A = this chain, B = another copy of it.
Amino acid sequence: MPKRVDHDERRREIAEAVLRLAATEGLESVSLRHVAAEAGVSMGRVQHYFRSKDEMLAYAYEHQARRHEQRIVERLRAAGAPPTPRDVVRTVMTEILPTDEASRASWLAGIAFFIRAVSDARMAPVVAAGGPAVIELFAERLDQARAAGELAEDADPRQEAVILWALVDSQASAIVIGGRTPAEAVATIDYHLGRLFRG
């Protein structure tokens, strides 16, 4: 079904344009015209693929999440040996931190979506769902770690997953404005994982 593939590819190209604009200028004044120019396509094409600006923004946000997941899966594969729950958690956390241009742009785009969500009731649930997806992944791995006897005895996987997300979320923002270096953030993550896991 080559037509279908093309369709998805076009939508992704437009989503990438939205993400570039989000990272550089924010989403306050973003318009379909603006996005079309950034993507190098006609307004008509953007309107063909997305019925509304809200639909386009939601798709772009979810596209970024999928792209991010893909990068994490690739990093885990590149690591070779079957990853332990602790390896997976650490890789996800360090991959989210803005340590290079690509991850910094991702984080800035995420902030732009967050800002929009504060004042846009339709965008709020889309963005609010972004944290819980990572939290769910953490919780599953912490459950595995507990079953394998690798988790601190008094640790609750669900609450600890929320705290892991909080740690990476806040450290990423601090890195973006120069409050912490990536190395300092990673040191805090490693310290925290050291208390959370056993052995």
Contacts and interface: CB of A to CB of B under 8 A. Distances in A.
Interface residues of A, number: 38
Given A165-B170, A178-B124, A188-B159, A26 B131 contact: no
B170 A128 contact: no
A129 B28 CA distance: 27
A173 B113 CA distance: 12
The oligomer's copy count stands at 2
Interface in A113-170: 114-115, 117-118, 124-125, 127-129, 131-132, 154-156, 159, 162-163, 165-167, 169-170
A111 B112 CA distance: 11
B177 A128 contact: yes
A33 interface: no
A56 interface: no
A23 to B, nearest CB: 10
A188 B173 contact: no
A45 to B, nearest CB: 29
Interface of A: 26, 28, 108, 111, 114-115, 117-118, 124-125, 127-129, 131-132, 154-156, 159, 162-163, 165-167, 169-171, 173-174, 176-179, 187-188, 191-192, 195
Given A114-B173, A128-B178, A165-B170, 20 more contacts: A26-B115, A108-B118, A115-B115, A124-B178, A128-B177, A131-B170, A132-B179, A154-B195, A155-B195, A159-B188, A159-B191, A159-B192, A163-B163, A163-B167, A163-B192, A166-B166, A166-B167, A166-B170, A167-B170, A169-B170
